[in-house]
Structure 1
Amino acid sequence: MQGITLRAVLLGALLAALNAIWVTAVEVRYYILDGSSLPLFVTPIFLLLLLVAGNRLLGTRKLRQEELLTAYLMAVISNTFAGHDMLQNLFGVITHPYYFAAQNQWQEVFIAKLPAGLFVRDEAALNAWYRGNIPLERMPGFLVHWIVPLTLWGLFFLTLTAHFLFVTLLVRRAWTESERLAFPVIQLPLAMTEPSGQLFKQPLMWMGFGIAFLIGLLNGTHELYPQVPNLPWIKLVDIGPFFTSQPWEAIRTYGMQTSLYPFAIGLAYFIPLDLAFSCWFSYLLARGYFVVGRFTGLDGPSAAQGWPFLKEISSGAWLGVAAAILWANRRHLTAGFDAAFGKGKKTSDARWDRAAWLGLTLTGALLAGWSVFLLNMSPAVTAGFFLVLMALSLAITRVRAEFGTPHEIVFVKPADMLVTLFGTRALGDANLIGMQAMYWFNRGYRCHPIPNFLEGMKMAEGRKMGLARLIGVFVVAALVSLFTTYAANYIVTYDAGAQGKATGYKVWVGREAFDQLSSWIKTGQPAGSTNLYFFLGGLGVVAALAGLRNAFVTWPFHPTGFALGVSYAMNYFWLCVFVAWFTKLLLIRYGGMTAHRRAIPFFLGLILGDYTVGALWSLLSLLLGQATYKIYI
């Protein structure tokens, strides 16, 4: 019997809907970012824990591991729709330009050029949206102004998600079967659903669980009752103010924070030692770069022109990582293409390769048609935009599959890269407007679908979860998640108000997108400016590090670690990575791989305990009608 049963899919659809509502309610209403801002999503893990616990009561009707994983994966997919970096951002973008046009004088800049049908324009609907306090029975009255934008963007996002799925199919065999990457993020859900229940019999797991849970319980209680002591250094502590003398004061200017999140230490334990070292070291190296800039005077009048140019450096670095990944996988991709369309026997793998290439072509054509005919972009810029997006998507997916690190690279966006390379004048207003209209799904990449698709396919290996059925599960989860996320955002925001009690509503995403657009159109940015040199510098550093790793086996610096360290990904986690790296280094050096393996349950317990208490606090927020403790940020 196949592991993906009807009852598993129905249960998964229910969990996907509940998870989308839960994530939207706590993130949009209370700005609790725990659920969807981490490489391993919080709420699906908690839901899986409830399933595993309840499963013990079912006797002979117990859900098998494949069924538990099916339901879990559907909840995970709902996070890629409802989470912090996806459809929440869409609502922040499509409502922003017309509501804020007058106070920003955008009528003379770009409002008349905005694509028709993709934004909410009605004044009454927007006023109610931003002010809130709309009773549930009155909300359907504004729906007429939302149907067209939400339908068009929904079709676009489903097409984009399908495109991402076909990209996943192209690299699946190479990364899950041939290379057998580590996939650190899937270790906890696999261990939780193991039929023997071995994880829950490990004293070390419960020790890690208890430490993390008690820390969250203590700090959360302090939030409600300040007289209770807490451990403030667990969460972000800004140490920048300690740097008061020049040139070290530059660290204070650009920021340096520390944290000791239990879940982050647990996740970082599974990062290979060389990459973990490169991550925290590159973060500190960036602080040294700030100090050198202040010492040499580069951080002076030039600061207004873009110093320290981290956006450009990290963009170049990530494009270099993507290029290295594509080069390393060139034989697999060409062999898959030849097997799919060449002569010879058509194996099942060849059929999947053929389906992937055909699907990629079809969805790519649909995305291009959307951009050209609805966003009024040129074919050349459309091709450039989506090629950069797909390159970054592959890089993020490979990094997460191999290392499991956070990938919040908010500096790295296709539109910014194209402007840096070609300048605003060459691109033209229509292309700039079209790219900024799509700002919402490429501002950050924490909820990117491809890593989650690939991890689902990896979890299905060796289990009774056929690939065709698994893809069907993804499709069902996507459809349920889209409609549920739309409804949840619509109701929560009209009730609370985008500028009222909805403290997590993405007003700032719209502001970022259209303030930048206004600046590009009014003042412009020439091609070949200083930004380009720093972009090429980031690209060159990654190329040099990759070359040195190939030349010297013992070379300690990983090019991906540099890309992660200089982008936003390590801002919150560098000290956690250091602690996990140092602990793992000591265990391996003095106890060997046996000691390292024995410690794994403890670090899984840190993750599970922190996620459990975080999920419970977020549920209490909904119950009390006020924000409570957040395990993250």
Structure 2
Amino acid sequence: MYWIVQVETLVYWNAAHPTTISLFSNAVFSLLLLAIFNLGLRYFAPHLQLGQGELLAVYAMVCTASAISGHGMMQIVVSLIGHAFWYASPENDWQDLVLPYLPSWLTVADKQVLSGYYEGRSSLYQIEHIKAWIVPVLSWSSFIFALVFSMLCINLLLRKQWVNIEKLSYPIVQLPHRIITQPVTLFKNKQLWIGLTFAGGIDLLNGLSYLYPVLPSLPIKLRYLGVFGEKPWSALGGIPVSFYPLVIGLAFLIPLDLSFSCWFFFWFWRMERVFGSMMGWTQTGFPFPNEQSAGGYIALCVIPLWASRSYMKGIIHLAINKKIDTKVNSQELISYRSAILGLFIGLGFLLFFCYYAGMSIWVIIIFFTIYLALEISITRMRAELGTPVHDLHYAGPDILLPKAIGTKALGPRNLSMFSMFWFLNRAHYSDVMPHQLEALKMADMVKADKKGILSALVLTSLVAIPFFFWLFLDVCYQTGMEKRVYWFGWEAYNRLGAWLTHPLEVDFSATAFVGIGFLSTIGIAIMRSQFLWFVFHPAGYAISNSWGMNVCWLPIFISWTIKSLLLRRGGFKTYRRAIPFFMGLILGEFIIGLLWSSIGLIFRLDTYVIWVY
């Protein structure tokens, strides 16, 4: 967590952001080092050797802590708490427009306290600083823990259906699972070392070239080629091109139909823009990509829940019948009754928190229904398909509700809390919920103590949230928040100021395209279930318009091409023999990428970054 705070946000921001990719590089690297150390213990001190369950517990805890402190969650929270008060000015008129609606117990208003926070050259450990921050930190910590706990309870209810009954493949856990269960076999595989050397060698060369420009480099990072000057083709914009080995490796582990759908629908979305330009609809917002994606994600939640409706009815029956629930309890992590009770307690706390902050009850219910639907869909996608990136920018309930009913109907207090919840909806890179379920799945795979893993997840969440606040505030008072992640605050409060100054009317077109995205995804799912020849996957439609797919479409296409050829020419056996090579691609980029980030952090150097930034 300390490394995440340092590298992603503060001292050395311009580094590979491990929490923007589905598989966290810092978690895999930590597991790799621990597995190597554990192999040494096997020969020199076997009585001290860690078991597979203990290795899994460490990995799950690192993933959970990283997700909580990641680029899509708490890094945004800390930018919101004091931003409106520090940057309020006569020009933006936030003093009258915004500040009256921000709850005092969720913000820091004292500019003397904030001066050290934003400008640095101060210390957190002053009485006035601690007094100003203690209430907002505890308030937000309780909210985030209740949210994370609620998601864990949902996972406990869905676990048996998705893990034991449907037996979803969980492609993302394949690499950490092999490191935990087959380290010797994996490390002896020549294919792994070829892939690792290839990917790591490219990043090593590019890193040296970055420091010493006289050396050659291999351009694998994102760039844009060719801009058409004439309509309608100018609507395509620049064509993004990249060759990230780690994405090629990750995409090799996902199903062929999904990888095909990802790059196919990427171009489908681009051609929609061309069609809109031909029709002269560019000023209307057509094709409303964020709204279509949001509808698609919601459908991806509804589809598996509808398919498992009998199972869900059974859960309710078991929870009501005390005798049966007690018997089933011995086979589950906790009883269904306890999971449902925990979910109601968590959601009840969220409802009370938001109501006390000024939100209307009906808005709270709709807001968190949409938010949790998006979370469930992302968790399902990772469990079934293992998408390399799932960012879903700017398509949360804070975007959908104002367009559906207008900002006047919501009122300034609801809108203000929408801005305070920017960390929930800006993007979904590092959501915690998928990592929780993946940890429970791996506990099944390695036959670990599931209740121990569950306890580790809860304890990590409980500790990581306030620990992040402490780490971040401590460093900010030394080096200054300004020029770090403060732009998240500008995004949230500039939008709020615009809402309050120029209220939005109902956007019927945008709302209709949410429905179109929903129905299109349902339609693709129905076609897929009825016709074996139908090659498209509904998740590919939903995720292919994102920033992440803009970055990854070409590596996914390359991986799809290689995997298709291997399966057609060599069969499934050849495909399985090739897997270690592609795992090596992932490890090679992770190891060298973390090496360059660490060098930059230690020596305060601007070093090569393996990812987009």
For this structure pair, what is the TM-score category when the shorter chain's length is used for normalisation? over 0.9
Is the aligned partner of 1:468 residue 2:451? yes
Query: Are 1:427 and 2:414 matched, yes or no?
Result: no
1:235–1:260: 8 Å Cα contact kept in structure 2? Answer: yes
Is 1:599–2:581 an aligned residue pair?
no
1:474-522 C-alpha deviation (Å, 9 max, x unpaired): 122223322331122112222222224xxxx322211111122122222
User: Which residue number corresponds to residue 121 of structure 1?
Assistant: 109
Deviations 1:350-385 (A, max 9, x none): 752211111101111111000001x21111110111
The worse-fitting range, judged by mean Cα deviation, of 154-163 and 53-62 is 53-62
Q: How far apart are the structure 2 equivalents of 1:478 and 1:588?
A: 42
Give the Cα separation in 2 of the matches to 1:483 and 1:383.
27
Q: Deviations over 1:186-242 (max 9, x none)?
A: 11111112256211110000000100110110111111111111112x110112x43
Sequence identity (%): 35
Q: Which amino acid aligns with 2:97?
A: V
Residue 383 (str. 1) matches residue 346 (str. 2): no
The answer on whether the counterparts of 1:47 and 1:72 sit within 8 Å (CA) in structure 2 is: yes
Tell me, yes or no, if structure 1 residue 26 matches structure 2 residue 7. yes
Which of residues 43, 59, 73 in structure 2 aligns to 1:86? 73
CA–CA separation in structure 2 for the residues paired with 1:269 and 1:391: 28
For the residue of structure 2 that corresponds to 1:197, the secondary structure is: helix
Could you tell me how far apart the structure 2 residues matched to 1:547 and 1:470 are? 37
Change (3 A) 1:464 1:308: closer
1:429 alignment partner AA = P
- TM-superposition CA deviations, 1:251-294 (whole Å, max 9, x none): 22xx5312111111100011111111111111111111111122
Measure the CA separation in 2 of the matches of 1:456 and 1:462: 10
Separation (CA, whole Å) in 2 of partners of 1:256 and 1:521: 37
2:206 equivalent in structure 1: 219
How many angstroms apart in 1 are the aligned matches of 2:342 and 2:465? 21
Instruction: Letter of the 2:363 partner, please give it.
Output: V
TM-superposition CA deviations, 1:534-573 (whole Å, max 9, x none): 2222222212212222232211111110001123331211
Partner of 1:12: none
Distance 1:73 1:280 in 2: 31
1:628: which partner in 2? Answer: 607
2:93 maps to which residue? 105
In structure 2, the CA distance between the partners of 1:155 and 1:251, relative to structure 1 (3 Å rule), is same
Q: Deviations over 1:164-205 (max 9, x none)?
A: 110110110111111111111111111112256211110000
What is residue 611 of structure 1 aligned with on the other side? 590
**Aligned equivalents of 1:506 and 1:521: distance in 2?**
24
* Contact kept in structure 2, 1:411 and 1:568, CA below 8 Å: no
Q: What count of residue pairs does the alignment treat as equivalent?
A: 600
Once the two structures are superposed, the pairs formed by residues 128-139 of structure 1 within 5 Å of their partners are: 128-134=116-122, 136=123
Q: CA deviation at 1:137?
A: 7.6
Aligned to 1:529: 508
Give, in whole Å, the separation in 2 of the partners of 1:533 and 1:480: 43
Residues of 2 paired with 1:583 and 1:47: CA distance? 30
Counterpart CA distance in 1 for 2:183 and 2:288 is 52
Pair 1:519-2:498 in alignment: yes
Partner of 1:507: 486
Residue 483, structure 1, aligned to residue 462, structure 2: no
Note the residue ranges of structure 2 that are not aligned, 5 or more in a row.
Answer: none
Task: State the distance in 2 between where 1:322 and 1:335 align.
Answer: 19
Pairing of 1:115-264 with structure 2 (within 5 A): 115-134=103-122, 136=123, 142-195=129-182, 197-232=184-219, 234-239=220-225, 241-252=226-237, 255-264=238-247
- Conserved in 2, the CA contact under 8 Å of 1:310 and 1:411? no
Residue identity in the other structure for 1:122:
D
1:361 aligned to which of 344, 357, 381: 344
Q: 1:370 to 1:335 in 2, by over 3 A?
A: same
In structure 1, give the amino acid aligned to 2:397. P
Deviates most, 168-177 or 438-447: 438-447
2:435 maps to 1:457: no
Matches within 5 A, 1:270-309: 270-299=253-282, 302=283, 305-309=284-288
The answer for unaligned runs of 5 or more in structure 1 is 1-19
What is the DSSP-based 3-state SS (H/G/I as helix, E as strand, rest coil) of the residue aligned with 1:572? helix
Provide the rounded CA distance (Å) in 2 between the counterparts of 1:605 and 1:624.
28
Matched residue SS, 2:569: helix
- Secondary structure of the corresponding residue to residue 238 of structure 1: strand
* Superposed CA offset, 1:387-413 (max 9, x none): 111111100000011111021111321
> 2: CA distance between counterparts of 1:567 and 1:448?
16
Q: Which amino acid aligns with 1:387?
A: T
Residues 1:559 and 2:538 are matched in the alignment: yes
**Letter in structure 1 aligned against 2:197:** G
Which residue in 2 is equivalent to 1:9?
A: none
Tell me the C-alpha RMSD between the 2 structures: 1.7
* 1:453 CA displacement: 0.5
| Alignment match of 1:265 (pick from 231, 248, 268) | 248
Contact 2:406–2:505 (Cα < 8 Å) also in 1: yes
CA contact (8 A) 2:175 2:583 kept: yes
For the residue of structure 2 that corresponds to 1:566, the secondary structure is coil
Distance 2:158 2:459 in 1: 23
Deviates more, 1:55-64 or 1:275-284: 55-64
Distance 1:325 1:464, change over 3 A: closer
Aligned-partner SS, 2:606: coil
- The residue that corresponds to 1:45 in the other structure is 28
CA distance in 1, matches of 2:241, 2:307: 35
Conservation of the 8 A alpha-carbon contact between 2:211 and 2:607: yes
CA contact (8 A) 2:153 2:339 kept: yes
Quote the offset at 1:244 in angstroms: 2.6
Q: 2:382 maps to which residue?
A: 400
Give the Cα separation in 2 of the matches to 1:592 and 1:291.
39
Q: Shift of residue 533 of structure 1?
A: 2.2
Letter in 2 for 1:117: W
